[in-house]
């Protein structure tokens, strides 16, 4: 089930050039199962037609406060009560100023006063306008009142300048909206999941890798997103689509995976990736030729990503995986201690796995933590991942009680 399944989102569109991205945003929200009603300001209709957003949302787009016909259907108060989240994207400097003042001079600002739903703004404006003291003050005032600011991002702007003020990409806005709407056990928790194999290049066409399909990790990422977490999936090469509501960064090698993981701080780190332990000491620049009867390939150790995360000065809650062919508990507990993890999920591979594990749709897990253990019986990877995430979140909250 998608994370926004049947959630009711009121999308307010302000009058800025980024309004063209609202079409993509409506598509993304509806793709994730949300019901979207769109309200446009008068200025927004200068940038994108109501018809476009009507076609994508499947509902008439509202513009005017005094529209007798529209008010005869869902009037503005009903619409304000209907919304579970009011999302304004783009939010212009003018719209932010009007909201800060509490004006109700058009339908969108009126709805913002009339709703009890959380309100999120995705600002989009020229960098100078974003930096202007009036906008700074308005942004501070709005956040103090409990409105959520999503972005803006840094980068190239439509005006030709570059700086802070770009609207976040629609996928990112949808992801943040999902988090805001979430009431699951991991609501608002930043989770990083590694998944899949890594590829260690020998030359431009050959590499060392392993049989990991990435399915367990992708299921864990999906289950964490369903539990309300803000999930980043750092994935090695696999043939799987990113789960709904999950941000994904694709990497090839262990070193690239290490760099991405270290660049993204989190509260909970789940390492499901089958990271190659070694990489060729030298990657040949051109394809190696088969001249000699024998060849040997000197290897060098890859960084242990999980151990490095667990050794950070303020480490997140860390969960490792251990695939073993024998002495499962002994090896798993050894890794739990050696890498200083909070939990390890171990599974059989090879003959003992009896069809579960790598490249399979099913798996079974033995969980170990300091002073305890639990068996998660064999199941399809997604239900198993949901079970795992439930157990992880209980331990996570025990260790870090919410304020």
Query: Which residues are tagged catalytic?
Result: 159
Q: Are 15 and 42 in contact (CB under 8 A)?
A: yes
> Per CB under 6 A, which region of 29-37, 105-113, 150-158, 316-324 contacts ligand C5P?
316-324
Binds ligand C5P (CB under 6 A): choice among 95, 167, 192, 254: 254
If binding is defined by CB under 6 A, does position 347 make contact with ligand C5P? no
Binds ligand C5P (CB under 6 A): choice among 219, 268, 275, 388: 275
d(CA 18, CA 382): 37
Residues 111-140 that bind ligand C5P (CB under 6 A): none
Burial grade of 351 (CB within 10 A; 0-12, 13-18, 19 or more) = exposed
DSSP 176-211: HHHHHH--STTTT-EEEEEESB--EESSSS-EE---
Alpha-helical (H) ranges within 238-356 are 254-262, 305-310, 328-338
143 phi/psi in degrees, rounded to 5: -70, -35
Instruction: Specify the residue, 62 or 339, whose C-beta has the smaller distance to ligand C5P.
Output: 339
In whole angstroms, the minimum distance from the beta carbon of 372 to ligand C5P comes to 19
309 phi/psi in degrees, rounded to 5: -65, -45
Largest CA distance in the chain: 86
If binding is defined by CB under 6 A, does position 199 make contact with ligand C5P? no
Residues 50-109 that bind ligand C5P (CB under 6 A): none
The CB density around residue 56, as the number of other CB atoms within 10 Å, is 20
If binding is defined by CB under 6 A, does position 273 make contact with ligand C5P? yes
DSSP letter (8 states) at residue 161: -
Instruction: Specify the residue, 44 or 345, whose C-beta has the smaller distance to ligand C5P.
Output: 345
If binding is defined by CB under 6 A, does position 335 make contact with ligand C5P? yes
In whole angstroms, the minimum distance from the beta carbon of 400 to ligand C5P comes to 21
d(CA 335, CA 343): 10
In whole angstroms, the minimum distance from the beta carbon of 320 to ligand C5P comes to 4
What contacts 67, CB < 8 A, 6 or more positions away?
Answer: none
Binds ligand C5P (CB under 6 A): choice among 173, 177, 244, 305: 305
If binding is defined by CB under 6 A, does position 219 make contact with ligand C5P? no
Query: Residues binding ligand C5P: what is the number (CB under 6 A)?
Result: 15
> Per CB under 6 A, which region of 51-59, 237-245, 302-310, 372-380 contacts ligand C5P?
302-310
If binding is defined by CB under 6 A, does position 306 make contact with ligand C5P? yes
Binds ligand C5P (CB under 6 A): choice among 320, 389, 392, 396: 320
> Per CB under 6 A, which region of 17-25, 51-59, 102-110, 270-278 contacts ligand C5P?
270-278
Q: Strands, DSSP E only, in 55-149?
A: 85-91, 119-123, 148-149
d(CA 276, CA 282): 15
If binding is defined by CB under 6 A, does position 271 make contact with ligand C5P? yes
Binds ligand C5P (CB under 6 A): choice among 63, 212, 235, 302: 302
Binds ligand C5P (CB under 6 A): choice among 9, 34, 251, 322: 322
Burial grade of 390 (CB within 10 A; 0-12, 13-18, 19 or more) = middle
Alpha-carbon 206 to chain mean position? 32
Instruction: Specify the residue, 92 or 302, whose C-beta has the smaller distance to ligand C5P.
Output: 302
If binding is defined by CB under 6 A, does position 173 make contact with ligand C5P? no
What are the tokens at 314? 């303020």
Q: Are 31 and 58 in contact (CB under 8 A)?
A: no
Residues 175-194 that bind ligand C5P (CB under 6 A): 194
In whole angstroms, the minimum distance from the beta carbon of 196 to ligand C5P comes to 10
Q: Which residues pair with 278 in a beta bridge?
A: 301
- Cα dihedral 227, 233, 236, 239 sign: positive
Choose among 50, 116, 53, 31: nearest CA to 82.
116
Instruction: Specify the residue, 187 or 364, whose C-beta has the smaller distance to ligand C5P.
Output: 364
Instruction: Specify the residue, 182 or 363, whose C-beta has the smaller distance to ligand C5P.
Output: 363
Instruction: Specify the residue, 123 or 197, whose C-beta has the smaller distance to ligand C5P.
Output: 197
Q: Give the interface with ligand C5P as residue ranges (CB under 6 A).
A: 194, 254, 271-273, 275, 277, 302, 304-306, 320-322, 335
């Amino acid at each position: 089930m998608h994370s926004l399944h049947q959630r009711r989102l009121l999308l307010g569109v302000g009058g800025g050039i980024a309004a063209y991205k609202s079409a993509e945003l409506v598509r993304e929200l509806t793709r994730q199962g949300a019901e979207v009603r769109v309200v446009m300001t008068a200025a927004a209709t200068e940038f994108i037609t109501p018809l476009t957003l009507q076609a994508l949302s499947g509902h008439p787009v509202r513009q005017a406060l005094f529209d007798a016909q529209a008010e005869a259907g869902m009037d503005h108060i009903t619409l304000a009560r209907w919304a579970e989240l009011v999302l304004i994207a783009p939010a212009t400097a003018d719209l932010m100023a009007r909201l800060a003042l509490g004006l109700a001079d058009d339908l969108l600002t009126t709805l913002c006063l009339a709703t009890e739903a959380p309100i999120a703004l995705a600002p989009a404006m020229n960098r100078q306008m974003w930096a202007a003291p009036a906008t700074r003050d308005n942004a501070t005032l709005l956040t103090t009142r409990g409105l959520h600011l999503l972005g803006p991002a840094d980068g190239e702007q439509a005006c030709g300048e570059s700086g802070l003020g770009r609207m976040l990409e629609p996928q990112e806005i949808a992801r943040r909206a999902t988090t805001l709407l979430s009431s699951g056990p991991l609501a608002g928790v930043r989770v990083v999941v590694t998944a899949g194999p890594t590829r260690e290049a020998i030359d431009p066409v050959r590499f060392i890798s392993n049989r990991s399909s990435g399915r367990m990790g992708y299921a864990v990422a999906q289950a964490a997103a369903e539990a309300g977490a803000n999930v980043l999936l750092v994935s090695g090469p696999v043939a799987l689509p990113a789960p709904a509501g999950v941000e994904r960064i694709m990497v090839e090698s262990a070193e690239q995976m290490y760099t991405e993981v270290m660049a993204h701080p989190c509260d909970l780190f789940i390492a499901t990736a089958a990271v190659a332990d070694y990489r060729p000491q030298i990657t040949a620049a051109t394809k190696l030729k088969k001249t000699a009867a024998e060849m040997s390939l000197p290897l060098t150790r890859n960084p242990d990503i999980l151990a490095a995360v667990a050794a950070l000065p303020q480490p997140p809650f860390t969960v490792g995986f251990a695939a073993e062919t024998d002495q499962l508990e002994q090896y798993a507990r050894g890794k739990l201690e050696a890498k200083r993890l909070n939990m390890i999920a171990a599974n059989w591979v090879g003959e003992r796995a009896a069809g579960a594990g790598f490249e399979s749709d099913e798996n079974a897990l033995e969980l170990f933590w300091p002073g305890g253990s639990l068996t998660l019986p064999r199941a399809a990877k997604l239900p198993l991942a949901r079970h795992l995430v439930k157990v992880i979140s209980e331990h996570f909250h025990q260790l870090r009680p919410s304020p």
